[in-house]
Each structure stands twice: as structure tokens, then as C-alpha cells.
């Protein structure tokens, strides 16, 4: 297989450029056009024949437009005889649609995974899926990256005495526990009930937070409803202040106003997997472009990607070698 070719849709070209800079190569051009009947068309402006093609496109609002762009770019690369096509989705938005929690409800996470495979993708690279089981929705290999190491490095540089890592709900408690282990801190979690997409209720806190500073960790912040609710409950239980951290900072709707106006939130930390709104005071952006660039390099050269996270998440560690077989 010949060299790497990297394209980007319109979702987050700045991130694609940063990944390309880490790899020491230019981003190849792609033209997305729209017909008069509102149909999209994608054209790749570089040779793909027998190349290792990477299409960088997080699924961010307008999500349906960006998903269609990605599918069309995959189709274009397939028609151009690409050697291997990898969809690089720093944020897979449909991962939230991962279970049947109501009657006659769709499973968007599985459907979109099937659409990508049908379009012709050979591999997927993504980060911080909403739930681990979403990995199994794909019928092609998935390299699932984590930003916990980057987030932990950010907090290691400060005084963490009298600090606790908090998960807004029990579903994200494993990730909060991993971050707590990396920082050698205790962990707590909220008991959350979701009433609507932008409305949740947290009625109790599991763990000791009284008189402590909190690092509230979530995989994604959209409207900010869960974060504001957990921070307010932490304050009710005697927590002094809260620093909020997430991998995917979408900050949709009134999220920026909600987060900046809450007196208990001292800082919001998010990686650059998705573009962030302008005019967000107090937002600290952490780059994960280096992780994606290293993953692309390792895949292209046939090296292990999981070794990037051996010291971050034990689930990425290689299996133990059998003893005494021979």
C-alpha cells in the first residue's frame, strides 16, 4: 500500500490541519457542493489509488449534514480505488442512541455504523464513545482512543489536596474511577434520572464530597443540564467548588450561559475533538490531535495502537503471556 492521504469534511478542518501538522504532511483538498435540489456531492481533489486514505469528520451539528458528507467522501474514495479507507470520527454523535430504552425506538448508533460499512469504510478511529458497547455496533475494526491521559496531565500540574473526582451518573463512573486512579484521588458519583434530552434530576451523591473540591468528569457536554445539576447537588452536599472536564465539549443551546453563570464552577476543560463556540470565558482547550496523528501513523505502519494507553486504561493493555505451555 502506498502513502497516507488525509481529507477533511467541513465539520472541523482546523482539527484535521493540526493532525496533518503532527504527521508532517499537507491536508489534501475535498470539495463539498450542493445541487439545486439540496443534494450534496463530494469530490476528493487528490489521487487515492492504492493509498491509505483517512477522512477526518466529527459528527457535530448540523450532524446530519456532516454525516452525509462523510458517507459521500467514503463513496468517492472507494470509487477512486483507495487501498484502505479509514473514517476518523473524533466524536461519534450517534453513540448516545445505543439501547432500546423505550418501546418502538430506533437504534441510531447501530444504523449509522452499518451505513458507514455499506459506504465502504475499512476502519474507524474514534474517541470516548458514549458507551463501551457501541464499539460492537461496527462490523469493521475500530480503534477507540481515550483522552483520560491528556485530561490527567492537565490536573497533575496543580495542587490536588482535598480533591475528589465526580461522575455525573453511575454510567460514567468507570471513567471517573480511571481518572481518579491516575491522579491518586477518591471518586464519587451522582444518581441521575433523565427526564428529557435537556433535563435531568440528580437526587443523591454516592461518596464523600463535603468540604472538598471536585473534578466533574463527563464524556460529553451538550446543553450542560447534567453538569449544572450535579454541581448544584455537590454544593448542597458541602462541596466547595467544581472544575468541569469532558472529552467532547459541544456546548449547544444555552450551555455556555448555564456554565459561566454557575457560581460553583471555576473552570471548564474540554478537548478539541469538536469545534467550540467563540466567546466562552474560562474554557480551557486540550489538544488530542497528537493522539490521533500517532494512531494514524501506527495503523499505517502496522503497529499497536493500544500501547498508546497502556498506562492510562488497563483495558488497553496487551493480554498476559501464557506460562509453562512449552
Catalytic annotation, residues: 192
C-alpha cell of residue 111: 444504523
C-alpha cell of residue 148: 483520560
Spatial separation of the C-alpha atoms in residues 183 and 149, rounded to whole Å:
10
DSSP one-letter code for 322:
P
Q: Helices (DSSP H) in the chain: which residue ranges?
A: 13-23, 63-79, 108-119, 148-156, 173-183, 225-236, 255-261, 289-300
For residues 152 and 311, is the Cβ–Cβ distance under 8 A? no
For residues 145 and 126, is the Cβ–Cβ distance under 8 A? yes
For residues 41 and 72, is the Cβ–Cβ distance under 8 A? yes
Task: Give Cβ neighbours of residue 69 (< 8 Å, ≥ 6 apart).
Answer: 9, 10, 11, 32, 40, 42, 57
Spatial separation of the C-alpha atoms in residues 45 and 84, rounded to whole Å:
17
Task: Give Cβ neighbours of residue 197 (< 8 Å, ≥ 6 apart).
Answer: 223
- Write down how long the chain is: 326
For residues 220 and 255, is the Cβ–Cβ distance under 8 A? no
b/e 85-119 (16+ beta carbons within 10 angstroms → b): bbbbbbbbbbbbbbeeeeeeeeeebbebbebbbeb
Amino acid at each position: 500500500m502506498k502513502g497516507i492521504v488525509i481529507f477533511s469534511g467541513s465539520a472541523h478542518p482546523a482539527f484535521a490541519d493540526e493532525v496533518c501538522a503532527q504527521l508532517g504532511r499537507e491536508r489534501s483538498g475535498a470539495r463539498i457542493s450542493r445541487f439545486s435540489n439540496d443534494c450534496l456531492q463530494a469530490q476528493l481533489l487528490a489521487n487515492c489509488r492504492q493509498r491509505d486514505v483517512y477522512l477526518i469528520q466529527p459528527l457535530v451539528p448540523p450532524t446530519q449534514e456532516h454525516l452525509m458528507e462523510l458517507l459521500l467522501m467514503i463513496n468517492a474514495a472507494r470509487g477512486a480505488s483507495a487501498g484502505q479507507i479509514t473514517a476518523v470520527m473524533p466524536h461519534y454523535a450517534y453513540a448516545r442512541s445505543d439501547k432500546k430504552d423505550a418501546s418502538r425506538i430506533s437504534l441510531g448508533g447501530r444504523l449509522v455504523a452499518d451505513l458507514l460499512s455499506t459506504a465502504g469504510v475499512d476502519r474507524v478511529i474514534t474517541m470516548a464513545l458514549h458507551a463501551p458497547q457501541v464499539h460492537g455496533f461496527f462490523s469493521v475494526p475500530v480503534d477507540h482512543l481515550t483522552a483520560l491521559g491528556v485530561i490527567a496531565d492537565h490536573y497533575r500540574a496543580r495542587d490536588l489536596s482535598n480533591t475528589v473526582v465526580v461522575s455525573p451518573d453511575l454510567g460514567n463512573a468507570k471513567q471517573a474511577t480511571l481518572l481518579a486512579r491516575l491522579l491518586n484521588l477518591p471518586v464519587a458519583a451522582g444518581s441521575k434520572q433523565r427526564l428529557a434530552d435537556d433535563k435531568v434530576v440528580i437526587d443523591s451523591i454516592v461518596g464523600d464530597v463535603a468540604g472538598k473540591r471536585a473534578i466533574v468528569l463527563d464524556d460529553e457536554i451538550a446543553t450542560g443540564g447534567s453538569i449544572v445539576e450535579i454541581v448544584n447537588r455537590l454544593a448542597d452536599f458541602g462541596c466547595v467548588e467544581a472544575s468541569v472536564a469532558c472529552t467532547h465539549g459541544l456546548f449547544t443551546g444555552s450551555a455556555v450561559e448555564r456554565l459561566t453563570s454557575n457560581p460553583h464552577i471555576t473552570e471548564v476543560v474540554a478537548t478539541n475533538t469538536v469545534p467550540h463556540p467563540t466567546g466562552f470565558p474560562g474554557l480551557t482547550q486540550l489538544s488530542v490531535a497528537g493522539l490521533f496523528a500517532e494512531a494514524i501513523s501506527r495503523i499505517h505502519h502496522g503497529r499497536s495502537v493500544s500501547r498508546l494507553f497502556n498506562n492510562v486504561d488497563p483495558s488497553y493493555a496487551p493480554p498476559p503471556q501464557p506460562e509453562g505451555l512449552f
